[in-house]
Amino acid sequence: MTNPWEEISLDDYEKHMSLDSVRQLQALDSIMQEQFAAYPVETAAVLGVAGGNGLEHIDTNKFRTVYGIDINADYLRAVSQRYTQLSGILECLHIDLINEAEKLPQAQLLIANLLIEYIGYEAFQQAVLQTAPEFVSCVIQINTDEEQWVSESPYLRAFDRLDAVHHQMEERALAAAMEEIGYSLILQESYPLPNGKALVRLDFKKNEV
């Protein structure tokens, strides 16, 4: 069976995420500006890059290579068309993180925003180990309403199949999963959203051996 994310149109996803009642696209854009600037790295991998929201914050004087990774090939085509100014730096890779983690390239910074929810902690651990970054920066959604984790919107039907792959996120569980593979929490910040949900950014640093 195909992954539900291969069937959701980018237009539906972005319109839903940018609604005034959701505002996740806008929040993630400003968070990604901070993520790209935070650490002294020149290579990065963005897991679940979708349509490339936030990639405009890539400093071409700082980064040598940035990998944009997604399971949806249509999303990656859109990213390549939208960010021609990043030619030579941005490299789009079509990878199923659950079944093809071994295809991931290594990078000094790993960014995973609203991604771990859809692959689970164990698959994320494998992705981190394969990428072997010094820093990991991720954003998870914390829900006050466990029944309705996708916000109400005219585009809600587009996300019907996501229930099959969605994992409820919890900050301590993610931190414990990262500690298991040798990464310590170095930053935690919360960003409230309009509908009672919140985005939580958690950054980790690889432990010294």
Q: Could you list the mean pLDDT of each consecutive 10-residue stretch along the chain, which spans 209 residues?
A: 77 79 84 98 97 96 98 96 96 96 98 94 97 97 61 56 69 96 97 84 95
CB neighbours (10 Å) of residue 199? Answer: 20
Question: What is the structure's pLDDT at 11?
Answer: 80
Rounded distance between C-alpha atoms, residue 149 and residue 167, angstroms:
10
**Opening angle at CA 26, ends 21 and 30, nearest 5:** 145
- Sheet with 198-206, edge to edge strand ranges: 90-94, 65-70, 43-47, 109-113, 135-142, 198-206, 183-192
Domain boundaries, the chain: 4-206
H/E run at residue 33:
helix 24-38
Rounded to 5 degrees, φ, ψ at 118 are -105, -5
Rounded distance between C-alpha atoms, residue 80 and residue 56, angstroms:
12
CATH number of the domain located at residue range(s) 4-206 in this protein: 3.40.50.150
Question: What is the structure's pLDDT at 165?
Answer: 60
Q: What is residue 206's three-state secondary structure?
A: strand
